[in-house]
Copies of this chain bind each other. A is one copy, B any other.
């Protein structure tokens, strides 16, 4: 059953950001392998992989949360890629991050948009 959760979680991870996920898995497995597995099973399978909300909507929520936290630039970058991968447009991502100026302050929104800008440049958008 844990194998099913891992498989479902890994599929969810790959739909969002396959390349980033593999890199994250490799780095984290070397330090805390049980935690790397827990993230796939308990975060990506049990929560993010639930069918009650489409991944596009989930990525809106994730972008908002990470921009609000303001201290996880690597994860934000990975999820800007993820948001594009599950169907959000560049314009929609800009709207979500710009909106964070209202809730988390202007610096949080600026810093998130600069990270998004790096992703847009990498992907030639």
Which A residues are closer than 8 A to B by beta carbons?
1-2, 24, 27-28, 30-32, 34-35, 38-39, 41-43, 46-48, 50, 52-53, 57-58, 60-72, 74-75, 91-92, 94-111, 113-114, 116-117, 120
Neighbour of A65 across the interface among B24, B30, B31, B65, CB < 8 A: B65
Q: How many copies does the complex hold?
A: 6
* Majority DSSP secondary structure for residues of A touching B: helix
Asked if B103 contacts A105 (CB within 8 A), the reply is yes
Asked if A60 contacts B60 (CB within 8 A), the reply is yes
A39: chain B residues within 8 A (beta carbon): 101, 106, 110
A91: chain B residues within 8 A (beta carbon): 52
